[in-house]
């Protein structure tokens, strides 16, 4: 799960293909690379916080010792 969380975060537009496809199909209306590169670090921090908060739950479930 940590690997999946870590692979979701990106910092450059060419790292994620769905964003390039969405940008091309909408003609750049609604969102752009500048907005996404500003918002993505917030997601990166949220992913790390979520993983840290989930550790007690994973211990309760017996997934980690």
Domain ranges of the chain: 2-61
Average pLDDT, the chain: 80
pLDDT tens-digit map of 28-57 = 787 777 777 788 888 888 888 988 999 999
Name the pTM for this structure: 0.62
Which residues have C-beta within 8 Å of that of residue 12, sequence separation ≥ 6? 37
The answer to whether the beta carbons of residues 64 and 56 sit under 8 Å apart is no
Q: What DSSP assignment string belongs to 3-47?
A: HHHHHH--SSGGG-HHHHHHHHHHTT-S--HHHHHHHHHHHHHHH
Cα separation, 63 vs 7, whole angstroms: 21
């Amino acid at each position: 799960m940590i690997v999946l969380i870590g692979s979701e975060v990106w910092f450059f537009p060419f790292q994620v293909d769905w964003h390039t496809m969405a940008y091309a199909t909408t003609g750049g209306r609604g969102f752009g690379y500048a907005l996404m590169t500003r918002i993505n670090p917030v997601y990166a921090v949220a992913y790390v916080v979520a993983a840290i908060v989930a550790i007690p739950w994973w211990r309760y479930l017996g997934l980690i010792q």
